[in-house]
Chains A and B, each alone.
Chain A
């Protein structure tokens, strides 16, 4: 275990469903990130939170809605997704926003939209 825990590990949802992905870290980190990993494409940054404030939204469609209630928890709320949203969603954390601190990644949630 890396210290960043993502649940669920696998999720299958219909296009009309609403579901949420959860990420939790107890590393004392203050920055948290959502990444999308699709087949044959580089990792795409979706959202960044630093000290609970959203500092980056990388032009993500509104059907993805993040929530960061505290520095230890990060959610990604999903609704009316499309099949092309099927991917591995990775959460990461770092001491503060900034790559020099090194990111710790979770194992990801494998999402399939049917």
Chain B
């Protein structure tokens, strides 16, 4: 079975300060993990993905995430927030086997607000 928990429903930062969006997961098999972003009235865009290669994954727009198996975490970070980063972010897990293989399980989402 697989599940994902986004620890914050809302995160608010000032422009130019670091961003940290937290995600914990559970998985019965070696998981694949993803972060998607959704801007208002838009579909979901893939930011980055982890699929058992390097544990530090770099994505688009300066975002990166680190897979930490011992902590079952996959937190999303960015050194310096930009106004255009304001959106909703989804952490997603997919089991590497079992009945959930190939299926995505989405977190509840974290709304990121960026203040000038």
A residues neighboring B (CB under 8 Å): 2, 4, 6, 41-43, 45, 56, 90, 92, 97-100, 102-108, 110
Contacts and interface: CB of A to CB of B under 8 A. Distances in A.
A46 B34 CA distance: 20
Contact of B51 (A2, A4, A43, A100): A100
Q: Which bracket fits the contact residues of B?
A: 20 to 34
B64 to A, nearest CB: 17
Contact of B103 (A99, A105, A107): A99
Contacts of B45: 2, 105
Contacts of B92: 99
Contacts of B42: 107-108
A4 B36 CA distance: 16
Contacts of B105: 42
B102 A97 contact: yes
Contacts of A6: 43
16 contacts: A2-B45, A4-B43, A42-B107, A43-B104, A43-B106, A99-B32, A99-B92, A99-B102, A102-B46, A103-B44, A104-B46, A105-B36, A105-B44, A106-B43, A107-B42, A108-B43
Given A99-B102, A100-B32, A107-B43, 11 more contacts: A4-B43, A42-B105, A42-B106, A43-B104, A43-B106, A90-B43, A98-B102, A99-B34, A99-B92, A105-B43, A108-B42
A42 B46 contact: no
B104 A99 contact: yes
Contacts of A99: 32, 34, 92, 94, 102-104
B93 to A, nearest CB: 9
B23 to A, nearest CB: 13
B115 to A, nearest CB: 24
B104 to A, nearest CB: 5
A96 B43 CA distance: 20
Given A43-B90, A90-B43, A107-B43, A102 B103 contact: no
B71 to A, nearest CB: 22
A82 B86 CA distance: 33
